Structure 1
């Protein structure tokens, strides 16, 4: 499910550019109010919106009855031959000659023109004749009405003050703009000194700047684009020219693609760069070649310590004094910044990305390596080099840096000292030392263990690529195979990309002892990575098969088994669960289920994650953590509890229940956090980071964030993984709840039918059927799938699936179906499962119409933080509660927060049925309701009123009534105008 490149015209200047300038406009009105001549100068950096603000002032003055004479400098054919702006003035008056219509104007204008010609020929200075001619011209122009002279880019001419001062002497209002940071010659200094008031235009507030971005996008913008712009531009986000120019550069480069109705970044991990012609880059170029090379070096190095300036000057073949002066000029120009510690950095990441991109022939690693070599040479000669700076450049310089034994020992010693306070640096230093240690030696094994621990703490999984490549080339010690395999699993989990080396692929293909024949590669990638496995010379078959041998100890089979029952074979479970995952298996017509032999049903990551050494000491030992991780991701509830108890954990406990919930939706980041503890950092990027945002956004009812993360996963270069398929199933539920049934069906089709996700897939199918209005089909699917899943041992999340179906049965008055589902829920073990106890309480409360029992269950759901389940539960309880209003209010609030139009309609149905006032969303009165917003969005997609009614399950008349109210409220006169107003940001935003 990939996007297509989005083309479009360049971002145009629009009136929206003055949004957020109320304070400046108020100050200008006050400054221009007094009678007589006034000279106001507006200053601000390039792109800040000076011209747009000046245009707004022109409209305000014209509305007040003033004659507006605009003067744009630096744009005419005169170039540098018009130092006093006389030519520009003559052109401006001639263009408005008919509107001015003053007697004597022709003669006054001719006098200035003649003097202009004379000045051009003689290149002389300012003369009294010029002053008199200008005074005569402006007195003639302003004889009957007040005249406003609006001068844009006054810095573009050498001497702007004489013309502007003459206009003020004649009683004109003069407003001029000039660029902040422009070269300040005597003429510009005179203007600023002579002005009655100088106003600085500051950056826009972030929300205003981002509203401009949404308006300029011309389509519904995915929130990931907004987040990427905010991160990349940093302090430049409030500059309208910069943010709109960067958006346009993304569009022109093909980085913006349309995917599932949103404008998204094609590769979210790639940096966002400033346009090549950005004023800051032009300013750097104007400072000369040394400054340009310094800027590129700072960008490639991700910052520069002043200790590294002398060797950097040597690399750049420049004089150190010139380099120091160049850095000062770049800082003065606002291109670079200096931190409190003296470290030099680029103004923002987007600037660094563009500057670094100009020097691709010399990558950052090569520059670090060159600096490291020179710093090492100086350190060996005389010392005095900051060891932290030295170690940083050595670590970032890659394999080309030549290290002796003393330097390797220095890196190991500094890494050990920095583990607690600076784990990021320690990770880099250990990684650099590891590449110089013999791969079969004991020091390599110890360092690899420390590196794995730090990678888990810092999230720097990309640092594991090099040890894996070296393993493929040179092998490793027998005692290091487990750690190498763990490194391969961690990297594959977080990157979503299979390793390139065959030997590493074979590690991921090897079966996990105690978990049947399925390998990690089958579980995560749904396929084997090396179809024709061969022994690698670095390891023998016994060593490879024994990798992670402790993982299966005490964990049992990869599925749940009843006490005293014979464990079912993995192949048997896979066959039955594969049938459950198929969309045709649960059809009410009794169609025969096709048995799928989908590989990758069981989790094997935990066995590979036997990080007894790499995860450090804790209350749960390394082998226990590994067993627990494996059991949780396999859905082995009984094994989870056994390992949890044996390692000292309490059962039941909130942590154990959160572990099962994370395992249900395959949220490996949360599972790892719960198992490993504080040592594990949930990554912000990569496959697991994005998928974790999907899960949290869904549970928190922040579906805009969740769907954005789903699209990020789809557009990333990673392969289809278990996390991507699970994200698609959550997307099914969100789209169905919003009434986007076509998109929901596409997401369901794209999701794998792997048995590992059979429960989650059935849960999504049940929800989709109910949202489409077929409650009976939803209940039948659950009743057919529940027993099969239970018999197959796939019990993790089964109570949540059955509980959802029971809520749907209650809403649809299917008492028989609700009773059958209650019976199924009662067959599940409950004594140690908080989630199952919650489901049982809710089921009994709904079936027996017991409000107190239902209230206790919803309190448990609320405590668990599953807001979508809480929304559905409140709606079901409202069917029979003595006072349905608080239940309906909560359901309505959550549905509004999610943007769930289909569920809002169910709320309205129950409201009408119970005969109580309709709940209303809290917030601004003029904010668009969710249904109104959906109607506008569907109009933008080209749907007719009838099609919209079918999509939202409304009557056509209801859609017409909504439109009538929208026309009255917004001032729009047609459906097309309404859709256009929404796209341009003129309507109040609501959840998307």
Structure 2
């Protein structure tokens, strides 16, 4: 054990406890110990830790830096380096005997003495006596760091120290040196290998380096960027320093988050691996940059690369072998080269620069084109390098046609790559082909879900604005711009389709404040977007249907397949707030603007000018709520924090093929689901994104419901760090984060997430649910009940207008508290609210909300059991815990229900729920099942707490790291203070390092 040997790992050295124990067990014996590991593995840090531990035990220790003697190649024994090390430590260990030995060696250590065999022998003998003087008859340790620069020297010097009876510890990479040293003398030596650190230790290393608890997503992102260097401490620390200097590590919600996680992470320019590549071959960085920036690069391409950089093929082959040997490159059995460390590729791209890299791609493309672009095996690589080369002349070939042909071929197996080549074709095509290619590309990017690329394409297209021959259909541009803005979390730059500004038909300014272009007209009959009808002669899209109760205007045509629902009639009895007609039962969408606030797209003079999904005439999807423009949706989303309605979105996205009935779009289980709405409106034309704020929001909701709270909170932090604009999904993310933090007994952080309690939000029911929980957990149940009653009434009225988001959460929390406090009269009102919620469900069977309220109001175990079964089948653990509590109140055997609730509480880290479950178990006389899967001994927890204190964490940060409440951490610290007699955290750390707390 390290504590028995006296060597302990401090916070500067993480994950090397076993290695320290191995070295500590040999201290005092004249044996060589070789510490081996790759660059950055922490050899120097380990030697520093050994030196510190030995000095704490009053063991004489020196560290010899042989690398500092690199300019003294004549000094074969490294005597000058030994002299320097002893002079540094002379004040602590010096004496007359050591001083005499120092003077003797200094006098003998000259180039001339090394040339004479007899003098060289005397020098070696005096060097051995110098080490004997240093040891002084007690245990002594000599450490040699970074000896690969002088392998022969260290063998001689270490031999002298070993003959003098010292323990020798050498850090090196050379296997030959290691074998020669460990075979010296009578006692067999030992080799200590420093392997890669595990995930847990990497997380601790990041926390120690940044002095902050990292978000769960930070460490995986760093490891993914490092690839083969993922467990290398030096590389991890280098990336942490670089990311902090770039401002990409930010504190959000009590944890350190990675801003812009989709951006590349590069090794620092001064990293040893980058320097090695640059020094080894003049073209080394260019080769790695080209491999990193190409879709594929194989050994067969080296000949073309050599020609492109005016190099020798043999030299390129040697470079690949060398880079593979040091772990920079990987080669598959079929000869494809890839970067073993993506961060190295990103660093190479940064070092080469965009212009030089594009020129390299261009040279590569020209060499491939010279072979004959008609050759099938050349087409795809040529297209890849053409796309990366940018809008440049590549000779006599038709680049646009070639890129289109290659995109068509690759699309079935790699749609994103096909879209990238399709985008590159825009830069090479003729002006007459530009509208068609742009229109097709916009639809393709929507179909594959690459809205980040969509935004870039639209920004580029805006540079050609004003020239009709070079732009796509205006309606498609507006719809695509709307999608790009909502999915990327930022309005596009001024000049794109929606950034130029709009005005409403009544003259009210749009969110951007700019007026319609001269000559632009309001749509026919669009005095109010609510209830606006199709213009005369307009046709519905193929397959579209009018909503129930809506009528087609006189003269409107319908293509084959478009039908009006059975029984559709003129809604003479239904009016909107502005007096416009509404279909029977229809309601304004959540957050819909007033009729006078609606704005027209800047590029649509009239609905009759907008392109239909089929490209012929005006065929917008007409909803009961009118013609709200894409620009207005974006303006309200970012400017007023208002969610969009299903119907207005269907109209705005009609040019992209929105043929689904607006009122059929789901809002599942009362949760706002933008991605689900887009999918319902656009159908197969919509691709689900893999990144962006809407994906993060979906992760938050899904993580909350399925009990993955750590992941949900991580997504919330990433959303705030990456997309700072205030939008409806940001509000819901903050509300859910506040709820989870409060239930984890962190009220301060919950308040930070919640923000201003008086601010009007887009989702009052969700906010009411969170604030009601805050009141309840602060010991004010009566105030919480009264607040819940008011909030529930307001939410029911909002639901009648179509806003049902969060109503079920508020109803269940209100009902549970009313049952707990015995408010039977209030339960009757809640049952009415549940029935109102039931009216908004599209399922024929009773919903979970109605079942739970029925179970609480009527003390019905079958209803609670049915609700629990439904939630368990869906995997919604958070809501299942509530259902189990309701079932436990009504069941004859409460033990299994309380046991399940307690298990879920442990998984969530919900301290309030766990306390309530155990209190209810005591009241019912029930013994809960012993939880063994995540149990930890008291000593293990206490040791872990001290280790986190060593990293500089506060009690709150420690609680989050070990998933305990802050009060539990305080109780453990109180127990530790009593056990050790310490009075402060600093004294506790000192006691831990002295071994007063045995590690279990």
Shift in CA distance, 811/208, structure 1 to aligned 2, threshold 3 Å? same
Q: Report the CA distance between 1:916 and its aligned residue.
A: 4.0
- Counterpart of 1:734 in structure 2 is 740
Q: 2:249 aligns with which of 253, 256, 260?
A: 256
- Counterpart of 1:803 in structure 2 is 812
For 1:792-835, what per-residue CA distance to the aligned partner results, in whole angstroms no more than 9, with x for missing partners? 23346534442332223223332221221012212432784278
Q: Give the Cα–Cα distance (whole angstroms) in 2 for the partners of residues 321 and 908 of structure 1.
A: 73
Q: Give matches, 1:389-408, under 5 Å.
A: 389-400=381-392, 402=394, 406-408=398-400
Q: 2:823 aligns with which of 789, 804, 814?
A: 814
- Counterpart of 1:843 in structure 2 is 853
The range that moved more, 694-703 or 461-470, is 461-470
Asked if 1:411 is matched to 2:420, the reply is: no
For 1:424-477, what per-residue CA distance to the aligned partner results, in whole angstroms no more than 9, with x for missing partners? 322222323355455765x96488447634653363641563266437634479
SS at match of 1:257: strand
The unaligned stretches of length 5 or more in structure 1 are 1-12, 583-594, 615-621, 641-646, 650-655, 944-951
Q: Report the CA distance between 1:350 and its aligned residue.
A: 2.3
Q: Give matches, 1:507-518, under 5 Å.
A: none
Q: Give the Cα–Cα distance (whole angstroms) in 1 for the partners of residues 589 and 786 of structure 2.
A: 18
The unaligned stretches of length 5 or more in structure 2 are 1-7, 527-533, 551-566, 601-606, 616-620, 634-642, 652-657, 957-964
The range that moved more, 840-849 or 43-52, is 43-52
Q: 1:160 aligns with which of 150, 154, 160?
A: 154
Q: Report the CA distance between 1:135 and its aligned residue.
A: 4.1
- Counterpart of 1:776 in structure 2 is 785
- Counterpart of 1:685 in structure 2 is 691
- Counterpart of 2:517 in structure 1 is 534
- Counterpart of 2:424 in structure 1 is 432
Q: 1:703 aligns with which of 677, 701, 709?
A: 709
Asked if 1:20 is matched to 2:15, the reply is: yes
8 Å contact from structure 1 (residues 831, 837) kept in 2: yes
Asked if 1:660 is matched to 2:660, the reply is: no
- Counterpart of 1:89 in structure 2 is 82
- Counterpart of 1:926 in structure 2 is 937
Q: Report the CA distance between 1:538 and its aligned residue.
A: 15
Shift in CA distance, 420/689, structure 1 to aligned 2, threshold 3 Å? same
Q: Report the CA distance between 1:160 and its aligned residue.
A: 1.8
Q: Report the CA distance between 1:390 and its aligned residue.
A: 0.8
Q: Give matches, 1:511-910, under 5 Å.
A: 528-529=511-512, 531-534=514-517, 553-555=545-547, 566-569=573-576, 634=645, 659-661=666-668, 664-672=670-678, 682-717=688-723, 719-749=725-755, 757-772=763-778, 773=780, 774-795=783-804, 798-827=807-836, 828-829=838-839, 832-833=842-843, 837-910=847-920
SS at match of 1:534: coil
SS at match of 1:150: strand
TM-score (norm 1): 0.75
The range that moved more, 547-556 or 304-313, is 547-556
Q: Give the Cα–Cα distance (whole angstroms) in 1 for the partners of residues 262 and 795 of structure 2.
A: 40
- Counterpart of 1:491 in structure 2 is 484
Q: 1:470 aligns with which of 453, 461, 467?
A: 461
Asked if 1:112 is matched to 2:95, the reply is: no
Q: Report the CA distance between 1:699 and its aligned residue.
A: 1.6
For 1:104-156, what per-residue CA distance to the aligned partner results, in whole angstroms no more than 9, with x for missing partners? 65555444332213558979999333333334445666684454432222223
TM-score (norm 2): 0.74
Q: Give the Cα–Cα distance (whole angstroms) in 2 for the partners of residues 846 and 464 of structure 1.
A: 50
Q: 2:36 aligns with which of 29, 33, 43?
A: 43
8 Å contact from structure 1 (residues 234, 348) kept in 2: yes
SS at match of 1:429: helix
Q: Report the CA distance between 1:718 and its aligned residue.
A: 5.8
8 Å contact from structure 1 (residues 612, 623) kept in 2: no
Q: Give matches, 1:328-477, under 5 Å.
A: 328-360=321-353, 362=355, 364-365=357-358, 367-379=360-372, 386-400=378-392, 402=394, 406-437=398-429, 445=436, 448-449=439-440, 452-453=443-444, 456-457=447-448, 459=450, 461-463=452-454, 465-466=456-457, 469-470=460-461, 473=465, 474-475=467-468
SS at match of 1:358: helix
Asked if 1:280 is matched to 2:286, the reply is: no
How many equivalent pairs are there? 900
- Counterpart of 2:604 in structure 1 is none
C-alpha RMSD of matched pairs (Å) = 5.7
The range that moved more, 539-548 or 295-304, is 539-548
- Counterpart of 1:947 in structure 2 is none
- Counterpart of 2:559 in structure 1 is none
Q: Give the Cα–Cα distance (whole angstroms) in 2 for the partners of residues 418 and 679 of structure 1.
A: 19
- Counterpart of 1:133 in structure 2 is 126
Q: Give the Cα–Cα distance (whole angstroms) in 2 for the partners of residues 424 and 390 of structure 1.
A: 17
Shift in CA distance, 66/565, structure 1 to aligned 2, threshold 3 Å? farther
Q: Report the CA distance between 1:695 and its aligned residue.
A: 1.8
Q: Give the Cα–Cα distance (whole angstroms) in 2 for the partners of residues 601 and 82 of structure 1.
A: 83
For 1:684-736, what per-residue CA distance to the aligned partner results, in whole angstroms no more than 9, with x for missing partners? 32222222222222222222222222222222256333322332232232233
SS at match of 1:177: strand
Q: Give the Cα–Cα distance (whole angstroms) in 2 for the partners of residues 358 and 392 of structure 1.
A: 21
Shift in CA distance, 401/141, structure 1 to aligned 2, threshold 3 Å? same
Shift in CA distance, 571/322, structure 1 to aligned 2, threshold 3 Å? farther
Shift in CA distance, 187/739, structure 1 to aligned 2, threshold 3 Å? closer
Q: Give matches, 1:158-197, under 5 Å.
A: 159-179=153-173, 196=189
8 Å contact from structure 2 (residues 485, 491) kept in 1: yes
Q: 1:201 aligns with which of 194, 200, 211?
A: 194
8 Å contact from structure 1 (residues 770, 778) kept in 2: no
Q: Give the Cα–Cα distance (whole angstroms) in 2 for the partners of residues 453 and 93 of structure 1.
A: 71
SS at match of 2:412: coil
Q: Report the CA distance between 1:894 and its aligned residue.
A: 2.6
The range that moved more, 370-379 or 803-812, is 370-379
Shift in CA distance, 36/27, structure 1 to aligned 2, threshold 3 Å? closer
- Counterpart of 2:564 in structure 1 is none
8 Å contact from structure 1 (residues 732, 748) kept in 2: yes
Q: Give the Cα–Cα distance (whole angstroms) in 1 for the partners of residues 520 and 397 of structure 2.
A: 28
Shift in CA distance, 708/518, structure 1 to aligned 2, threshold 3 Å? farther
SS at match of 2:33: strand
8 Å contact from structure 2 (residues 591, 645) kept in 1: no
Shift in CA distance, 914/294, structure 1 to aligned 2, threshold 3 Å? same
Shift in CA distance, 534/689, structure 1 to aligned 2, threshold 3 Å? same
Shift in CA distance, 736/20, structure 1 to aligned 2, threshold 3 Å? closer
8 Å contact from structure 1 (residues 15, 52) kept in 2: no
8 Å contact from structure 2 (residues 203, 214) kept in 1: no
Shift in CA distance, 895/78, structure 1 to aligned 2, threshold 3 Å? same
Q: Report the CA distance between 1:845 and its aligned residue.
A: 0.7
Q: 1:54 aligns with which of 40, 44, 47?
A: 47
8 Å contact from structure 2 (residues 66, 146) kept in 1: yes
